A = this chain, B = another copy of it.
Amino acid sequence: MNQATQALQVPALIALDWGSTSVRAMLVSSEGVVVSRRASSMGVAHVPKSGFEAALLELCGDWVSDLDLPMLASGMIGSRQGWREAPYLAAPCGPAECATHLTAIRLASAPEKAIHLVPGVSLTRADGTRDVMRGEEVQVWGCPAAGASSFVLPGTHSKWVELDEQGRIVAFRTYMTGELFSVLRAHSTLRWQASETASAVRADGDFELGVKRALASSSCLSSLIFQARAGALFGDVPAHGVAAFLSGLLIGAEVASALHEGTPNRSVVKVIGDLALCQLYETALRLCSVAAQVLDASDATTRCLFRIAGAAGLLQGAGR
């Protein structure tokens, strides 16, 4: 961007990606370009219920006081444990429905200013089961649209998300894969086997063996993970490879289930998230003969929040 272009970037929105463990604040221009960014560890899990306004002002109080800008936030900040509960919007839904269901909170210290919260998305399936997400929906909507598509967002709670031709979320499913890996490795009898490996699991031969075992098995995951003990006992997996093998079992079971359950014969799945984790999912998808398209979604949330702010009329008059 040359200087002439940069000079045109007038701030128009404070966008906040406010999750459980951290918060990122972006100052966005009227053209949708990020002109400044800040981050802190004041996620929802680290701030008392009454402390969110103070946390906001600590992170970007100067933006709030000096610039008369709308504020829009997504993520766990809208959960029951967050600043205020922003009720879930039922799928199918897209950014347009989102824009008409924002939750406004007036600041106690400046009642003329308000922060708006994006709703989470909920799903009730035909069998009565439920699912929820907060934050992942704006990440998906912020990615370049290309008709109906399937996404996976690997992590503590992986989300598989289906978009229709109009870019609306029509279905999604949560897998507690990352969390299962963490608690099994730290607290279960498998910790003896899985502790010898360094933190980061790589898509090596032990990981691939785990994925293949999961794909070949029709048994329940609670049986499958015992392979990390029994396989190690018989030397099928070396001691230093048990964590990678266990990760392969868990991710393999997730990918097989998700492709079976929710992904309508797509040959490509878009993968968003931590790059090392994306590579594990890329490997598991390849072993299922499905291509992975790893996307750089670092500004996807900001793009979507800007779009929702526009659709909600929040940008009118801002940044002038």
Chain A contact residues, CB within 8 Å of chain B: 80, 122, 124, 127-132, 156-157, 173-177, 179-180, 183-184, 186-189, 213, 216-223, 225-227, 229-231, 233-234, 236, 250, 253-254, 256-258, 260-261
Contacts and interface: CB of A to CB of B under 8 A. Distances in A.
Contact of A222 (B175, B230, B236): B175
Contact of A254 (B131, B183, B220, B260): B220
A156 B222 CA distance: 11
B223 A173 contact: yes
A222 B257 CA distance: 10
Nearest to A222: B175
Contacts of A257: 219-220, 222-223
B131 A253 contact: no
Nearest to A209: B128
Nearest to A213: B129
Contacts of A221: 220-222, 253
Q: Which of A217, A220, A254, A256 has the most CB of B within 10 A?
A: A220
Given A130-B227, A132-B229, 4 more contacts: A80-B233, A128-B213, A176-B222, A186-B187
A279 to B, nearest CB: 20
